[in-house]
Chain A
Amino acid sequence: MKLQGLNSRGNVEKVMKDVKSQASKNAAPRKPGGLNAEIQSRIGHQLRAMYDDVVRQGVPDRFTDLIRKLDVPAAQSHVENGGGSTDQNDGRE
């Protein structure tokens, strides 16, 4: 229905207006020494969102395999001297 379309578009515009008005409202009284708490919290939120995006990917297999293989001291120096990262995958069964 048309109404639905209008609603969703209206929401987008409203959100963006809110974002803009918050941003300009907050930016205006910013003092050189201190930051508005609202802006600080937005920055913190975005920083964590970006970081957590990678954290949520978990531990790639290559690292699990690496740690499992390298629990013997002799193996450590061997692999370090070898230096090749592609060798690590060849041993996978």
Chain B
Amino acid sequence: MPLTDSLRDDILAAVPSLRAFAISLSGNSDRADDLVQETLLRALANIDSFQPGSNLPAWLFTILRNLFRSDYRKRRREVEDAEGNYAKTLKTHPSQGAHLEFEEFRAALEKLPQDQREALILVGASGFSYEDAAAICGCAVGTIKSRVNRARSKLAALLYVEGAEDFGPDETVRAVIGGSGG
């Protein structure tokens, strides 16, 4: 369909979510914005192939994911740089206690295999149905469900079982209250 004003608005409305998805894929906010820009250019160049009435965000997410995938092998190293760059994306800094928990969660998420992480984010954060997520990832609905389940299990194991000794109340409280004597 032609690029109408309303379609342009709809594409722009999807940008915040595309950025969030791109950051979670690449772990790097600069790289994520380049990825979003490439996605928009690709989408606009191929706007004729977009079916009116179909799911625009899902279409855009598919383009972004494919771009990331085709590029990922070349840029694998950048993912290792994720930690420092992710913090830069945060406009508001959570309180320290929340920040610790947040970092812990983000680190656990990074440990998931790529397939599981993207499935979990599409379904659990972007709010896509299993069917849409399957279309975006080009796989069966059952595959998405199993990836999401495995991702949740692994996160639970990392955060609430394995990590229990590392992030126990003593250490965490000490960090939160800054070791004030008493």
Contact = CB atoms under 8 A, between A and B. Distances in A.
Interface in B14-37: 15-17, 19-21, 23-24, 33-34, 36-37
Nearest to A75: B44
Nearest to B151: A43
Nearest to B98: A49
Interface string B161-182: 1001000110011001100101
B89 interface: yes
B138 interface: no
Interface stretch (B50-58, B70-78, B120-128, B129-137): B120-128
Majority SS at the chain A contact face:
helix
Contact of B102 (A16, A27, A49, A63): A49
A39 B156 contact: yes
Q: Which of A24, A43, A56, A85 has the most CB of B within 10 A?
A: A43
B11 interface: yes
Contacts of A53: 20, 89-92
20 contacts: A13-B169, A27-B161, A35-B153, A36-B156, A46-B105, A47-B105, A47-B121, A51-B126, A53-B91, A54-B16, A54-B19, A55-B17, A57-B16, A57-B19, A57-B91, A59-B15, A67-B12, A67-B40, A71-B8, A80-B45
Interface of A: 9, 12-13, 15-17, 19-20, 23-24, 26-27, 30, 35-36, 39-40, 43-44, 46-60, 62-64, 66-68, 70-71, 76-77, 79-80, 85, 88
